[in-house]
Structure 1
Amino acid sequence: MNPAPAPPAELSSDQLAAVWRGQAKWWHLGCYALVATAVVVALLEPPGPHGRWPTLVLLGGVALAYTLFGRRAIMREETVYAVLYQLCAWTCLLTIIALDPEFESWLLFFCLFPQIWATFEVRPALIGTGLALLALFTAAVAPADDPGAEVPGALVSVVISFALSAALGMFIHRIIGEAERRAAVIDELRSTRAQLAAVERAQGVQDERSRLSREIHDTLAQGFTSVIALSRAATSALDRGDVATARERLSMIEGTAVDNLAEARVIVAELTPGHLQSRTLVEALVRLTDTVTRETGIRVTSSVEGEPAPLGGNAEVVLLRGVQEALSNVRRHSGASSASVTLAYEPERVALEVTDDGAGFDPATTPPGFGLDGLRARAAELGGEVSIGRGDPRGTRLVMELPR
């Protein structure tokens, strides 16, 4: 068991161990200081029956035992070293008492008893304390001329010493144990936090991939689709000898390519969509519907209900992508001759509705597509929703609602 009192509870196990290793030097200093004090006392007091040297040698044995075994027991919490140290130290002390009963042996109690609790767990420490006190009791009673007369006083002293030592040792162990439990909890929390951070990073990477996939689908892929359709129309016009129409289609191809290039640069720079550069959302919708009308011949109209107001970059991006995806599906799948885009600003929400007069479809039997799934994901990120179904009386109707 570590000897030091508990550091602040916010420390981890590694930090707690480092603090205790740093505080262990005070245990070393205290032990050597007490042994040195005992040496000074032995030199100043009158020599015992066997002279000073046996006492000095045995005190040196205590210091040597601490150097060889005690330091390792306290620093490394190794039971073998703890047992070796306690046996050597207490053997030296009891021998000193036997050789010189008048020597102030109690000086070493201040290091030897705490070291029992510093190097053992609670139960072994209780046993060790009891054995040490029993040995001291025997050493005090046995040499007396009338051992029976010495028993009551020695017994009271032993019981009180054991109670005080056990109470103090168990109190310190409880504090240390609580600090170690808290450190373990902090370790677990830090480990969990690191795992969560790793999961969040992985999720962030996945979200960014999904975002880029949606951006590419909603911008570059649709632009390339327009380029293909316009180039085929230009080729057909040339086959018919209609140079003016071919030139017009080539001009549209150039315009679409310029827009795609702008969108690509925007995606790389992670800015707002090219259609929203220096434009309001309403202006971007008008430009987009006019472009679709020119490129496809489908008459696309746009209208605004309520008072337009800035919605923030993300909401406007999602609404614009919704119009792009809806009109892309109108162009490719519906066979419609007209379509309408309505943007409604309401107090609590903004609603986008795109309808056409094409063939329509049954959402229940149509497999999901990446574009619509991506659109729903975009809306859900902002707390909105997307619904799609049959128009009235025919065609398709897409509605996106976002909170304001």
Structure 2
Amino acid sequence: MVGLSFLSASFATLLLEIPSDLDLLVAALPLYGLMAAGFVIIGRTRSLAWTVTVLVAGVATILLLDLDALGGGTASTAAAAIVLGSGALPALIVCNLDAPARIITLSMGATLVLVATIITSSATVSPLEGLLSVVIGWSILTGVTVWLSVSISRALARIARLGRAHLAERHATQTEAQRRQGARLLHDTVLATLTLLAHSGVGVSPDALRAQASEDARLLRQLRLGGTPMPRSSGAYTLEATETSDLGHTLESVKQRFDRMGLTVSWHGAGRLLLPSDVLDAFLLSLAECLENVRRHSGVSNAEVTITQDDTTVRAMVTDTGVGFDLEQVDAAKLGLAESVVARIREVGGRTRLFSAPGSGTTVVLEVPKL
């Protein structure tokens, strides 16, 4: 754009010769057209061949103006040559300071332009004026190009650093997510089974306990071999991703699990949940963990679950009439509540509310968005 602007200014200055020197304009017009095409092509391809072409055409144009000046040309002829030599042609520097061959080419071209411009200006104006114009023009554009090159290099370096920092942060986030998933996995499976064993399986049939222990052993064995656990809506885990089925979209799998575990659950409200798969998994796994907490800690063997939904939200309210607890006395970082319920619901854009008091039972409200 800089080169084309100065080229246009030089040609406009030359038009002042009309009608006194129409032959000069006709002779110079093809050279100006060639330079204009060259600037456009160089801007797109950075072609060294076209850089040489523009330099040659520029020097030829200045020499053509020399002939006119020596033959009695006017000041506008010298002005056109000075604008061409000190503004248009130096613009080639912008695309040609990144390789020795280009720098050598520009240096040779600048020398020819300087000599030709001095000859032209000496015939009509001061030679010193032509010399200073060319030197200043080439120097300014060289300085601007170097500054731009350094600035762009620094910007690219900063972008690269930001990219590396982003990748490191993403890796750390993924590592933390994997750690939290592993903690949830152990809490929801192996630790639950070990807790049952520690209490001699009270309230759970021996067959259900053996089946759960066998499933946990299989899961750990495959994890050791490099498997990736995938949560199931029942609260268990599988090592392969499965297609969503009607069972996965209902509460039936959760009901069956806690029936086997000896917890009597009264279900109310919607029996089919139409949610995105990730939201549905988080909702049902959190619901299963709430019921597991009732079975382990409430001191009662029954619970109430009420499912409601509106246009934007699905809610589950899990209530028991057990021993309850003081909310202020519970560690907020306790794994079962913080990770398997609160964090899991929060990750899908939902929220968890907890109400309890000693001797008054516990109520947990889970809310997840439909979209």
Task: Give the TM-score range, shorter chain.
Answer: 0.5 to 0.7
Q: 1:346 aligns with which of 310, 313, 317?
A: 310
Q: CA 1:344–1:219 in 2, change beyond 3 Å: closer, same or farther?
A: farther
Q: 1:271 aligns with which of 227, 230, 245?
A: 230
Partner residue in 1 for 2:258: 289
2:151 corresponds to 1:187: no
CA distance in 2, matches of 1:320, 1:266: 24
Q: Deviations over 1:186-237 (max 9, x none)?
A: 2211221121111111111111111221122122221232244345x59xxx
Q: 2:324 aligns with which of 336, 360, 364?
A: 360
Q: 1:260 aligns with which of 216, 222, 229?
A: 216
Matches within 5 A, 1:31-42: none
2:336 corresponds to 1:371: yes
Q: Deviations over 1:249-307 (max 9, x none)?
A: 432322222443465579733333273776333111211221232xxxxx521424136
Q: CA 1:313–1:224 in 2, change beyond 3 Å: closer, same or farther?
A: farther
Partner residue in 2 for 1:171: 141
Q: 1:250 aligns with which of 206, 219, 239?
A: 206
Gaps of 5+ in 2: 1-38, 56-98, 102-106, 236-241
Q: Give the AA of the match of 2:352.
A: V
Q: Give the AA of the match of 1:251.
A: D
Q: Give the AA of the match of 1:185.
A: A
CA distance in 1, matches of 2:365, 2:313: 13
Query: Secondary structure of the equivalent of 1:367?
Result: coil
Q: Give the AA of the match of 1:311.
A: L
Shift of residue 381 of structure 1?
Answer: 0.8
Q: Deviations over 1:332-374 (max 9, x none)?
A: 3221242122232332111121111111011112223111110
Is the Cα–Cα contact under 8 Å of residues 327 and 357 in structure 2 kept in the other structure? no
Q: Give the AA of the match of 1:402.
A: V
Number of corresponding residues: 272
Q: CA RMSD in A?
A: 4.5
Q: 1:158 aligns with which of 122, 128, 131?
A: 128
Q: Give the AA of the match of 2:270.
A: G
Q: 1:216 aligns with which of 169, 186, 196?
A: 186
Q: CA 1:338–1:309 in 2, change beyond 3 Å: closer, same or farther?
A: closer
Q: Deviations over 1:370-393 (max 9, x none)?
A: 111102111111111111112798
Query: Secondary structure of the equivalent of 1:275?
Result: coil
TM-score after normalising by structure 1: 0.55
* Structure with greater Cα Rg: 1
CA distance in 2, matches of 1:230, 1:312: 39
Partner residue in 2 for 1:306: 270
Q: Deviations over 1:37-75 (max 9, x none)?
A: xxxxxxxxxxxxxxxxxxxxxxxxxxxxxxxxxxxxx85
Query: Secondary structure of the equivalent of 1:386?
Result: strand
Q: CA 1:338–1:395 in 2, change beyond 3 Å: closer, same or farther?
A: same
Query: Secondary structure of the equivalent of 2:330?
Result: coil
Is the Cα–Cα contact under 8 Å of residues 227 and 256 in structure 1 kept in the other structure? no
Q: Give the AA of the match of 1:284.
A: S
Is the Cα–Cα contact under 8 Å of residues 391 and 397 in structure 1 kept in the other structure? no
CA distance in 2, matches of 1:312, 1:285: 18
CA distance in 1, matches of 2:231, 2:255: 17
Q: Percent sequence identity over matched residues?
A: 19
Q: Give the AA of the match of 2:305.
A: V
CA distance in 2, matches of 1:258, 1:274: 19
Stretch deviating more after TM superposition (372-381 or 315-324): 315-324
Shift of residue 401 of structure 1?
Answer: 0.7
Q: Give the AA of the match of 2:323.
A: A
Q: Give the AA of the match of 1:378.
A: R
Shift of residue 153 of structure 1?
Answer: 7.1
CA distance in 2, matches of 1:154, 1:292: 107
Is the Cα–Cα contact under 8 Å of residues 286 and 302 in structure 1 kept in the other structure? no
CA distance in 2, matches of 1:75, 1:178: 18
Query: Secondary structure of the equivalent of 2:318?
Result: strand
Q: CA 1:222–1:272 in 2, change beyond 3 Å: closer, same or farther?
A: same
Q: CA 1:270–1:210 in 2, change beyond 3 Å: closer, same or farther?
A: same
CA distance in 1, matches of 2:222, 2:268: 27
Q: CA 1:109–1:386 in 2, change beyond 3 Å: closer, same or farther?
A: closer
